[in-house]
Structure 1
Amino acid sequence: MTATPTPAPRRLPIVLRNRAFGTVWAAQVLTQAAGRMFQVGVVWWIVGHAAAGVSDRGLASGVFLAVSTLPAVALAPLVARIIARCPHRTVMALAAAVAGLVAAFTAGWTYLAPPPTVVAYGAALLLAGCQALFDPCLTTSVPELVDDADIEAATGFELATQSLAGLAGGLLGPLVVDAWDLTGIVSGCAGAYLAAAALVFLTRFPRAATAPDEAVPSDDGSTSRTLRQILAEHPFIRRVLLCFAAVNVFSTAVYVVMPLYARGVLHAQGSTVAALETALGLGALLGSFTGAKLPGSPTTIGGACLALMAVALGTPGLLADRPAAVCALIVAGWCVGVIGVRFVALFQRLVPAADKPGFFAMMQALLGATFPLSSLVFGALGDHLSPQTLCLVQAVGLVPLAAALWWLGRRTATPPDATVEDATTAPAPAAVANASLGEAS
């Protein structure tokens, strides 16, 4: 008689069994949800309230979104130095606290008198600067909070933060503006930022570096290097990042197109904008948690997801229907989530520990550099072209980039049986420093 094997106990999610990571992750959810609520709410305020009857609503909202993304690009070198030299918990706590004070000051201004549009622009610039410091600092801190075996799971939750922020902020932003104007938006943001600062400040990082102000050697004995030096050894990573930077020109335009589509095509109110934003965030959340289960190399999955995203973003351009637009944005968001979890998890393992502060800060800057351009171009086009035409422009722009990403994977001779599970058991980053993403996966 053979003994019946006892099934292995089911492990709790990383945010529940690792209190430190769960607390810091909750703080990131609060900060990104506050930032997203502010962005979506102010764009809807410009399109549906402040700019009512004005012919350049698209350009005005595009300029606002461009301003909201400039700090991540312009401050990237400074952010990398701060993250490399200062305790990560201190950096994140101070960034969230400063953002809370900025939001509280703006809330007081909007309560006393109707603010000019430039006040919203200034607040957006300062809040985005704080977020540009908080996010790459948390990404760099993941190995300080979790075991090596949990990096994949922690990365999935970290990437899901933006999806949760899209759900919460995208849903609340337009609704709060319709109910309480800008005062309600910035007051809620202030509370969220200050709560996040308290959470991080009270959390102990179990694996924090003992001397954060010194250059930490990598596994092969080298010190931290610039992004250019890192990418010189990883030409495949360089090509992938450039491809995704081009993708962002068309994909991130959705944040400009959605409010214009809701107002100009669906003739709807803030609740419809909230539904569209929520659909995008829900799809990205699903993609963040299901992306690791898809078979195939990152480039194969990424190329297929970009092609599917092109179809999804083009659908509202052909069908002027609210349910169709919601379903299309769920699919588009899912593609974004899948691509993010596959590639960022591999970057975590391929880049040496000493290089991560510079790499992730500069990666965020490189990928975000096209967002101001996208916002301005599509915002200006929105004053001359219909929102449905803008949807089709997005779709057409993504098609050649999907083919390019797939072709890059073919050039690297990715093993045909490579899957994401290989990445979870891969050796330390330094051991595969000379391997491409396709080979590592």
Structure 2
Amino acid sequence: MTVSGAVTEPATGTASGTPADPAARRLPLVLRNRRFGAVWAAQVLTQAAGRMFQVGTVWWLVGYAADADRGLASGAFLAVSTLPAVALAPLVAALIARRPHRTVLGASAALAGLVALGTAGWTYAGTPPMAVAYGAALLLAGCQAVFDPCLTTSVPELVKDADIETATGFELSTQSLAGLAGGLLGPLVVDTAGPAGVVAGCAGAYLLAASLIGATRFPAPAAPAAHAPAADSPAPDAPAPAGDAPGRARPLRRILSELPFIRRVLLCFAAANVFTTAVFVVMPLYTRTVLNADGSTVAALEAALGAGTLVGSFTGGRLPGAPTAVGAGCLVLMAAALGLPGLAAGHAAALGAMAVAGWCVGVIGVRFVALFQRLVPAGDRPGFFAVMQALLGATFPVSSLVFGLLGDHLPARTLCLVQAIGVLPVAAALWWTGRREPDGPEAAAAPQEDPAPAAQPIGDVR
């Protein structure tokens, strides 16, 4: 959602554009604010590289490296790729709180670039064992698990308060854009240049992102609004004093105990994730064993999923109805889309199914993140959203391993039907959750205008 009214450069702003210049106001935020634009470009590069590595390696395992156990191999790889975001959440939160954000962003991108560069050199010298691919996935995912939340935390430092919502919209919609680009390139590069080409491309993207961060000078953190700026405020990139911490956040258990409606919704999404995120294992297997196609088909399916998510993100706010009713309807539609390739095998059915499933993910993301923003108290939001992502992300390793194992014993078309059947009870549970509180939080939280593209509560894997 575009912030109405005149938007200007931050008080600590860059030399780009003048607040009084009407032409400057009409420019997108990433062009008006060069500092934020550079960090946003670094985000695009790191997320696209991570997605390209994931999708490319999964296709390499399914299409070239693995044989009888290709389902388990690809499922275990995706599980490894998502574990750091869940397992390291407390350590990442502490690191971001104690260290300068520019240092954390630059170091994580540079380390990812060095890991990818070393893996590329090993791969060019000879075919490495699969353990190298798994180890690289673990390290790269760990770096991304640090980079992404640190960037989100850094937004208020980089833009003025009036631009925060616009900046957040750029940041969150980038996840879909970068995922689309990376998912499209990964299988194509594997078919043309092998796994070494994928890892080399990732190394270049990570190192370029680190260079952009290194060339960007972050401003000093703004003083709290209730107090005048201190004369001895820390210099740019200086860590905050130990006692200068933000207000204490309440324990998440207490937050959720006061919000039973949100607790039930989160449980519904966690259950849905077990079946919806399995698409990243099922679709490569389906391409290989049912369509007998190459990496270009995997790339097309990834592109259809990403494009559908983008469209859903921008149109979800226009759908009438309460969030639980819209969400339940989208889950039913998603179940039909996921099951379609199992009933009618073919390229067109698979492409259409991915586009519709992506649209449902985008709609659900917009409606429910906006609902949570309105219902969760402002002081509780940082902890709530961090734990929400960890809770929903924790289901992805389980989904990857379970459907990977099933993929070695069941046909891919059957797996599509298993996904569809698994989503339907969750849709019913979400609908019933809304029916239990028809005059509750949803009525008070009805959107007044289209929300900005938001992170997806289900199906968001980076």
Using the size of structure 1 for normalisation, the TM-score is 0.86
1:85 is displaced (CA, Å) by 2.3
2:122 corresponds, among 100, 103, 109, to 109
Alpha-carbon distance in structure 2 between the residues aligned to 1:174 and 1:333: 19
Q: CA RMSD in A?
A: 2.6
Report the counterpart of residue 437 of structure 1 in structure 2. Answer: none
Task: String of CA shifts for 1:110-129, please: whole Å, max 9, x gaps.
Answer: 11111010000000000000
Q: Which residue number corresponds to residue 418 of structure 2?
A: 393
**Aligned pair in 2 of structure 1 residues 384, 215: CA closer, same or farther (>3 Å)?**
farther
After the TM superposition, which of the residue ranges 145-154 and 316-325 deviates more from structure 2? 145-154
Report Cα offsets for 1:332-369 as digits up to 9, x if no partner: 11111222233334545655666555444322221111
In 2: Cα distance, 1:335 partner to 1:266 partner? 25
Query: 2:351 — aligned with what?
Result: 326
* Counterpart check, 1:120 vs 2:147: no
Match of 1:381 among 400, 406, 409: 406
Q: Return closer, same or farther for 1:272/1:337 CA change in 2, 3 Å cut-off.
A: same
In the other structure, the counterpart of 2:72 is 59
Residue in 1 that maps onto 2:34: 19
- Equivalent position of 2:47 in the other structure: 32
Distance 1:319 1:200 in 2: 48
Corresponding position: 1:239 with 2:264:
yes
Aligned to 2:333: 308
Describe how 1:61-100 pairs up with structure 2 within 5 A: 61-100=74-113
Distance 1:349 1:138 in 2: 22
The whole-number CA distance in structure 1 between the counterparts of 2:104 and 2:376 is 22
Which structure 1 segments of 5+ residues have no match? 1-7, 426-441
TM-score normalised by structure 2 residue count: 0.82
* Contact 1:310–1:398 (8 Å) recurs in 2: yes
Q: C-alpha displacement at 1:373, in angstroms? A: 0.5
- Deviation, structure 1 residue 156: 3.1
C-alpha spacing 1:174/1:349, structure 2 compared with 1 (3 Å): same
**Residue 78 of structure 1, CA deviation:** 0.8
**Distance in 1, Cα, partners of 2:451 & 2:73:** 45
Distance 1:225 1:399, change over 3 A: same
1:302 Cα shift?
2.0
Matched residue count: 413
The answer on whether the counterparts of 2:318 and 2:450 sit within 8 Å (CA) in structure 1 is no
Residue in 2 aligned with 1:164? 177
Contact 1:84 1:357 in 2 (8 A): no
Report the CA distance shift for 1:402/1:150 in structure 2 as closer, same or farther (over 3 A): farther
Change (3 A) 1:107 1:135: same
User: Percent identity over the alignment?
Assistant: 72
Is residue 2:196 matched to residue 1:183?
Answer: yes
Asked if residue 288 in structure 1 is aligned to residue 308 in structure 2, the reply is no
Report the Cα offset of residue 80 of structure 1.
1.5
Q: Find the aligned partners of 1:275 and 1:191 in 2 and give their Cα distance.
A: 24
State the one-letter code of the partner of 1:197: A
Structure-2 separation of matches of 1:291 and 1:326: 21
Residue by residue over 1:171-215, the C-alpha shift from the partner in whole angstroms, topping out at 9 and shown as x without a partner, is 111111111111101100011111112223333445735664546
User: Residues of 1 paired with 2:218 and 2:432: CA distance?
Assistant: 41
Counterparts of 1:353-368 in structure 2 under 5 Å? 355=380, 357-368=382-393
Code of the residue aligned with 2:256 in structure 1: it is L
**For the Cα contact (< 8 Å) 1:226–1:359, is it kept in 2?**
no
- Which moved further from structure 2: 22-31 or 347-356? 347-356
